[in-house]
């Protein structure tokens, strides 16, 4: 259970990377379309979700240090499953909207 808990804690970097990449992609796309800098408010709003993920990573590290591997595995696994499902729903909706055009 200890190895699974540590692996799931390390895997929590995936949602942060995805959110940072999405914010960067939005910034680049808007600057190319508008020939100017993108709206920084929207970019910061997209990055604000990383603060929530950073909080959960800190909680996961604390739970690992206290030896509560089962609780950490449940929390980290739930967060990763929610991230994967939201990503699947996001890309499926994009595909369906483009297909139904």
Domain borders along the chain are 2-99
Confidence class of residue 55 from pLDDT cuts 50, 70 and 90? very high
pLDDT tens-place string over residues 92-101: 998 998 888 7
- Positive/negative CA dihedral, 66, 69, 71, 73: positive
Mean pLDDT of 30-55: 75
| Burial status of residue 46 (CB atoms within 10 A of its CB: 0-12, 13-18, 19 or more) | middle
pLDDT tens-place string over residues 69-81: 999 999 999 999 9
Mean pLDDT of 7-22: 89
Mean pLDDT of 16-35: 78
């Amino acid at each position: 259970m200890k190895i699974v808990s540590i692996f799931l804690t390390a895997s929590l970097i995936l949602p942060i990377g995805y959110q940072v990449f999405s914010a960067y992609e939005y910034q680049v796309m808007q600057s190319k379309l508008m020939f100017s800098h993108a709206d920084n408010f929207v970019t910061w709003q997209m990055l604000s979700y990383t603060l929530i993920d950073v909080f959960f990573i800190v909680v996961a590290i604390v739970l690992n240090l206290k030896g509560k591997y089962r609780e950490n595995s449940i929390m980290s696994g739930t967060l990763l499953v929610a991230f994967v499902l939201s990503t699947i729903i996001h890309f499926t909706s994009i595909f369906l909207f483009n297909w139904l055009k």
